[in-house]
């Protein structure tokens, strides 16, 4: 376990300021409906939520951008939305955050991905998704590649955020990695099932336990199972680091020298794990782009994940909360 001091973290956070990080991935709009429950519906055995508030947040790869900006970086979002009201709402939220929207394609052949969460008395009770998982057209893919060619040279790192919503094809993934490697850029990946083994030769690959089990068709029941899967994964895709997030069991890092490190969770309480993976990849990538040691970067990301798990809904990490969490555990 790596122990990091507040002084070291403050110094590292200063290095985050102004870092240009490209976020390529599935953009989403998160809708929240909040209220309380005092009765059961007479129509079905389900609670009736008496709505008190409704609001929207940036989600998916855009939540990665929120986390990056909250930590002082300059996120460059590259992705696709629909030409619909949800897309207009999404762009409005991006404008509110002063985020660049020049590299987002509006496609009239698909809806904007929307996740609606209903929260009753502080607990999420149901989620409804509006989405298309169809692959984007060749025209949209070429626009995305052109955006990347324009931005990669001046970036500090590239995050690929894959939610299997149709943006990231094997071809786009390969060409993005080739382009980024040509400029010696850090590339980190938060994968999903469909393209799992397409991310060859990236800097860091960050699956969770469920994803790595599904990819290999196994169940991880022991440390040996986990380490074997990580070694097989590193061998297959040729990445520098594998970081597996394990929920309440923390994280497992396999480094470039084939050494393992286990990082225990830093969550003080768990209300909602939504967005925790986005926080991990954001914090981790920024730390790597700032030149810090990989184990320190992972430890910092672990603290950040612990903070956001204690919040209700998808909430970005802040430097203040990160410093408070580190102080709490010392």
Q: Which residues are catalytic?
A: 278
Beta-carbon count within 10 A of 260 CB: 14
* Among 254, 228, 233, CA closest to 243: 254
* Among 309, 306, 190, CA closest to 244: 190
Could you give the CA distance from residue 227 to residue 60 in angstroms, rounded to a whole number?
Answer: 29
Could you give the CA distance from residue 272 to residue 136 in angstroms, rounded to a whole number?
Answer: 31
Could you give the CA distance from residue 26 to residue 80 in angstroms, rounded to a whole number?
Answer: 7
By CB atoms closer than 10 A (0-12, 13-18, 19+), residue 5 is exposed
Could you give the CA distance from residue 9 to residue 326 in angstroms, rounded to a whole number?
Answer: 9
Task: Collect contacts of 246-249 with beta carbons under 8 A, ≥24 apart.
Answer: 246/208, 246/209, 247/208, 247/209, 247/273
Phi-psi region of 128 (alpha: psi -120 to 50; beta: other; left: phi over 0): beta
Beta bridge partners of 119: 34, 124
């Amino acid at each position: 376990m790596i122990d990091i001091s507040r002084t070291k973290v403050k110094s590292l956070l200063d290095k985050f300021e102004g870092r240009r990080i490209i976020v390529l991935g599935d953009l989403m709009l998160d809708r929240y409906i909040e209220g309380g429950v005092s009765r059961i519906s007479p129509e079905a055995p389900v609670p009736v939520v008496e709505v008190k508030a409704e609001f929207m947040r940036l989600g998916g790869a855009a939540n990665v951008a929120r986390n990056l900006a909250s930590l002082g970086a300059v996120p460059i979002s590259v992705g696709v939305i629909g030409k619909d009201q949800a897309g207009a709402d999404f762009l409005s939220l991006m404008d509110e955050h002063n985020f660049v929207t020049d590299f987002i394609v509006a496609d009239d052949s698909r809806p904007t991905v929307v996740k609606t969460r209903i929260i009753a008395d502080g607990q999420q009770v149901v989620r409804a998704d509006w989405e298309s998982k169809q692959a984007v057209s060749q025209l949209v893919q070429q626009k995305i590649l052109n955006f990347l060619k324009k931005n990669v040279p001046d970036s500090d790192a590239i995050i690929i955020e894959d939610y299997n919503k149709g943006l990231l094809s094997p071809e786009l993934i390969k060409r993005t990695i080739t382009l980024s490697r040509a400029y010696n850029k850090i590339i980190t990946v938060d994968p999903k099932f469909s393209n799992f083994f397409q991310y060859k030769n990236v800097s860091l690959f960050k699956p969770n336990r469920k994803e790595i089990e599904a990819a290999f068709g196994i169940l991880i029941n022991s440390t040996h199972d986990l380490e074997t899967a990580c070694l097989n994964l590193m061998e297959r895709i040729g990445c520098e680091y594998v970081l597996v997030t394990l929920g309440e069991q923390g994280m497992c890092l396999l480094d470039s020298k084939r050494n393992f490190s286990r990082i225990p969770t830093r969550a003080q309480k768990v209300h909602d794990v939504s967005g925790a993976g986005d926080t991990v990849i954001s914090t981790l990538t920024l730390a790597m782009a700032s030149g810090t040691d990989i184990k320190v970067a992972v430890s910092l990301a672990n603290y950040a994940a612990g903070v956001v798990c204690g919040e209700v809904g998808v909430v970005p990490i802040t430097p203040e909360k990160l410093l408070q969490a580190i102080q709490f555990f010392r």
